[in-house]
């Protein structure tokens, strides 16, 4: 009987412990789930919220937001510039090739800015939707901000202490320098006001500069005008000629050097092509009258009174009256 009671007691204790263990397991399930979640989030925080990652992503979002705002402002400016030019140029049917080229360029600039803005917005939104980056869209999270603010306060206090020590030693010097500067500035301003009264800005009624430019254009734009040119190099007069007509630049052209084409190379009449829907047009190099491309070398050309053609790349002096030379030119032309 005694043995039976011992066995029964053992079974009772074992069963009781099993029941208690099961109960404890049931009770701790929520805690285990919470603990697992905490561990997971702790690991996530360690990987995502490390200093380098946090600073990089926060700075990236801030810089990209600033860049998008700057592009918005530039787009407004570019659009206004294009609209103002189109309005000032008058009806499109009366536009010159230069008007069309400039209008196309202005609209292309605006379109390019818009494309860049859209590209940056797409990248910004793509990163903002990523779980490991989205937390930094509005800046560094709170605990970083607290640390940042604390460091700011410490730096501010240290700065105030240093500043108080520095300014306490040089306050009198700073005050004296500021007073001297203010007094000198007032004297300069007073002197300037006296000069404005003593020598006022004149109200001119004509312009000798414009008169000279107009006279020069009138004189040398005359057909069969005879003038004299002296070609100079190495500090010497190399040659001189009597010129019939006008001295011209080698980079003067009879046809435009650029033309408007769309992305497929088709000729455009306006800054928007209608060949295959509305597409922007671009300014590209145009061929010269001989079918070649490129630009001429720098220099001048002219025709002599005898009909000879001359090109020159260098310094020269020209007058519509012959000048007396004290030395003979280095190059002497032979007339046949």
pLDDT digit string, tens, across residues 239-280: 889 999 989 998 888 888 888 877 777 777 665 555 555 567
CA dihedral 132, 138, 142, 148 (to 10 degrees): 110
pLDDT digit string, tens, across residues 105-162: 888 888 888 888 888 888 888 877 776 666 666 665 555 554 555 566 566 666 666 6
- Comparing CA positions, the residue from 136, 153, 138, 146 lying closest to residue 52 is 136
pLDDT digit string, tens, across residues 306-322: 999 999 998 999 898 88
**Which position has the token pair 């360029």?**
105
40 against 71, higher pLDDT: 71
Give the helix ranges, DSSP H, for the chain: 2-48, 51-89, 97-128, 131-134, 142-198, 208-220
Whole-structure pTM value:
0.38
- Residue-level pLDDT at 300: 94
Contacts of 241 (CB under 8 A, 6+ apart): 228, 229, 231, 302, 304, 308, 310, 333
- Residue-level pLDDT at 146: 45
Contacts of 315 (CB under 8 A, 6+ apart): 231, 232, 233
- Comparing CA positions, the residue from 294, 263, 295 lying closest to residue 281 is 263
Which 3 state secondary structure label does DSSP give 22?
A: helix
């Amino acid at each position: 009987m005694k043995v039976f009671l011992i066995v029964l007691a053992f079974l009772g204790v074992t069963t009781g412990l099993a029941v208690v263990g099961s109960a404890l397991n049931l009770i701790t399930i929520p805690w285990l789930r919470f603990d697992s979640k905490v561990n997971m989030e702790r690991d996530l925080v360690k990987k995502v919220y490390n200093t380098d990652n946090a600073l990089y992503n926060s700075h990236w979002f801030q810089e990209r937001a600033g860049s998008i705002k700057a592009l918005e402002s530039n787009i407004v400016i570019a659009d206004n510039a294009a609209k103002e030019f189109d309005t000032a140029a008058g009806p499109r049917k009366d536009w010159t090739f230069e008007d069309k080229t400039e209008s196309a360029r202005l609209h292309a600039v605006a379109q390019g800015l818009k494309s860049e803005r859209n590209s940056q917005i797409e990248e910004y939104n793509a990163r903002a939707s990523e779980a490991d980056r989205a937390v930094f869209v509005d800046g560094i999270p709170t605990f970083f901000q607290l640390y940042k603010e604390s460091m700011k306060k410490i730096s501010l206090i240290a700065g105030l202490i240093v500043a108080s020590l520095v300014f306490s030693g040089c306050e009198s010097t700073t005050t004296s320098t500021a007073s001297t500067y203010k007094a000198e500035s007032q004297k300069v301003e007073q002197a300037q006001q006296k000069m404005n009264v003593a020598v006022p800005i004149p109200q001119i009624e004509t312009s000798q500069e414009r008169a000279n430019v107009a006279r020069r254009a009138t004189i040398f734009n005359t057909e069969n005008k005879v003038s004299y040119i002296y070609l100079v190099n190495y500090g010497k007069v190399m040659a001189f000629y009597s010129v019939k007509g006008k001295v011209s630049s080698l980079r003067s052209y009879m046809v435009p050097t650029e033309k408007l084409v769309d992305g497929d190379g088709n000729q455009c009449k306006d800054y928007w092509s209608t060949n295959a829907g509305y597409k922007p047009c671009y300014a590209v190099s145009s061929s010269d009258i001989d079918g070649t491309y490129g630009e001429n070398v720098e220099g001048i050309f002219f025709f002599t009174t005898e009909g000879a053609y001359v090109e020159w790349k260098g310094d020269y002096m020209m007058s519509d009256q012959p000048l007396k030379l004290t030395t003979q030119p280095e190059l002497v032309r032979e007339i046949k």
